[in-house]
Amino acid sequence: MTTPLPSRPTAAPARTGRGLQASRTRVALLLLVPMLLVLAAVAGYPLLRTIYLSFTEYNILTDPAPKWIGLGNYWFTTEDGVGLGVLQIPEWWQSVWNTVKFTVGSVLLETVLGLAFALIINSKIRGRGLLRTAILVPWAIPTVVSAQMWNWMYNDSFGIISDWGQRLGFLQAGQSFLSNPDTALAALIAVDVWKTTPFMALLLLAGLQTIPSDMYEAADVDGANKWTQFWRLTLPLLTPALLVALIFRTLDALRVFDMPYIVKGNAPETITMSIYARQELILNSQFGFGSAISVLIFLIIMVFTAIYVTSLRVKFD
Amino acid sequence: MNSKNPLVRTVTLILFWLVVAVVLFYVLFPFYWAIKTSLTSSARLSAEALQWFPSVPSFQNFVDVFTGAPFGRNLLNSVVVATGTVLLSLLLSVLAAYALGKFRFQGKTILMYLILAVSVFPQIAVLSGLYTMIQTFGLYNSWGGLILSYMIFTLPFTVWTLTAFVREIPTELEEAAYVDGASPLQTLFRVLLPVMTPALVTTGLLAFINAWNEFLFALTFTTDATAATVPPAIANFTGASQYESPFGLTMAASVIVTIPLIILVLVFQRNIVSGLTAGAVKG
């Protein structure tokens, strides 16, 4: 573009550049608006509304409108000394404790087993494609379905796993790992491990495949055995992938709802934080109190996410 | 495995294949058991529950699932809701991904953080807010209510993955279109979209699977077969009767909804593995 003003020779091109930049910014914003509107409607507004409701007393069936009670849902002691806030209620702490045990147990087992699966598939054997396909099956089965499948296998009188447990002497006749409060949570962890180990294995497999094979050749030449190679070479190089998978699974396990709910309902020995929140919200219609539980879960998840983002230094550009 | 001694080598090899066999059994057995149970008629179920093969394979459960329960309607609901969710998410996220992947503007990093934050939202945290909102708009027990609420987990995922993909498309393509005088929308739909097809298929498929499997919202925002999808329907099969074990029916329904997914997964195996891992490694 030529400029008729010789006194400011650089102004016009600069302005065009800025103009182009400005119009591109406008286009970008327009392209983003629909997505942002929908996200605001399904995430932003409902979250704010949940936070607001958590400061109110609101039974959705009987109360005409939410009544502001401040922090009462979180901490409230009556004159008789009865604690009514979520944080004072044993059932909440029970659900937290169950969720923590579930998370630690399942994530640890899934990581170890997933690593083993990944190493097997990554070794140069015939039929590894078939093996990789096979381990996708549990992942592809809907959670509800896998919950019901295991529910059936755990059935007291007709379940195959109860039968095995009874034959091996772990269980009495007519007993199941699920009906016994001491083993119920472990039984649920087993279902989650079965369902999710494949996902873990795939993530770790992707990590394994980025390790150049000449590193192993060099290690072979140096006389390192497979064991040493695993600890000195594979594991350190796999750490980033391992960390990502770990955090992913931890976040998932902390908010777990469907599988334990379908298998054990609201049973106190396996109730998780999300199941407890839904019980208060929907079954007991306590939208204020239930929202307070939801907010606590949200805070816990966000703390973990913050650790995730900072520790992995997630980059966007 | 590279020992010189042939005996040691054979033993290691046998051990290795033993491990493979154990893994295969572990992974596939529950699914086999579901199929076996679904092929046992309810009359024989209690007698044959522990047998490894059905003595008289029968498809009665598969017929009963459709005649005794509104399972056909649940399937239709699932297909409509999952498809609607995927189409809407893809449309919205293609536009957004183009902006996020190819345009430079202030606040982009914050926006990406925000989308990432939404992708880890525990569904329970928005349940009460969404519930009141869905009731206000009269979307309770409807396809629309479910499709809208599913956006909370599909949209961040599709935006994220497609943005990563758009970023990889050579800028020359876009510049050529710009020189030819194409508008941004023309550039997106005529030039970039054809290149993006594989990414759209992968992302759409994963979003579809997520929407197909969703349970909490479907359970909470629907009351009856008008809009209830397959997951709440299957979850509720159990409570039917205390004395009659509905597991034959439940397993039949389970097999019906799982087989299409397994076929999809087998066909798109490679895309799924790369899609899962790409999304995971990039955040």
- Rounded percentage of chain B residues whose pLDDT exceeds 70: 93
- Rounded percentage of chain B residues whose pLDDT exceeds 90: 43
- Is the model more confident about B23 or about A314? B23
B93 contacts in chain A (CB < 8 Å): 35
DSSP string, A78-120: -TT--B-SGGG-HHHHHHHHHHHHHHHHHHHHHHHHHHHHHHH
Write down the pLDDT at residue B2.
55
pLDDT at B135 over 50: yes
Establish if A145 touches chain B: CB-CB under 8 angstroms.
yes
Verify whether the Cβ–Cβ distance B273 to A132 is below 8 Å.
yes
Q: Name the most confidently modeled range: A116-130, B24-38, B47-61.
A: B24-38
B16 contacts in chain A (CB < 8 Å): 120, 123, 125
A312 contacts in chain B (CB < 8 Å): 283
Write down the pLDDT at residue A139.
86
Task: Identify the closest residue of chain A to B34 by CA–CA distance.
Answer: A149
Write down the pLDDT at residue A11.
41
Name the band, by pLDDT with cuts 50, 70 and 90, for residue B214. very high
Cβ-contact A250, A96 below 8 angstroms: no
pLDDT tens sequence across B65-122: 888 778 999 999 999 999 999 999 999 999 999 999 988 888 898 999 889 888 888 9
Verify whether the Cβ–Cβ distance B124 to A274 is below 8 Å.
yes
Encode A104-141: b = buried (16+ Cβ within 10 Å), e = exposed. ebbbebbbebbbebbbbbbeeeeeeeebbebbbbbbbb
- pTM, two decimals, is 0.89
Please give, rounded to a whole number of angstroms, the shortest distance from the CA of B63 to a CA of chain A: 19
Separation between Cα atoms, residue B259 and residue A137, nearest integer Å:
10
B34 contacts in chain A (CB < 8 Å): 145, 149, 152
Please give, rounded to a whole number of angstroms, the shortest distance from the CA of B230 to a CA of chain A: 9
> For chain B, percent helix, then strand, then coil, each to nearest 5?
80, 0, 20
Verify whether the Cβ–Cβ distance A149 to B280 is below 8 Å.
no
Q: Which two tokens stand for residue B68?
A: 């005794």
Verify whether the Cβ–Cβ distance B27 to A198 is below 8 Å.
yes
Cβ-contact B261, B209 below 8 angstroms: yes
Write down the pLDDT at residue A24.
85
A205 contacts in chain B (CB < 8 Å): 273, 277
Considering only CA atoms, which of B103, B128, B159, B104 is closest in space to residue B283?
A: B159
ipTM of the complex: 0.88
- Is the model more confident about A68 or about B183? A68
Local mean pLDDT, 10-residue blocks, chain A (317 residues): 43 58 87 95 95 95 93 90 90 96 96 92 79 84 93 90 90 87 94 92 86 84 85 86 86 94 92 96 95 96 83 58
Query: Which A positions 203-242 lie with beta carbon below 8 A of chain B?
Result: 203, 205-206, 226, 241
pLDDT at B248 over 60: yes
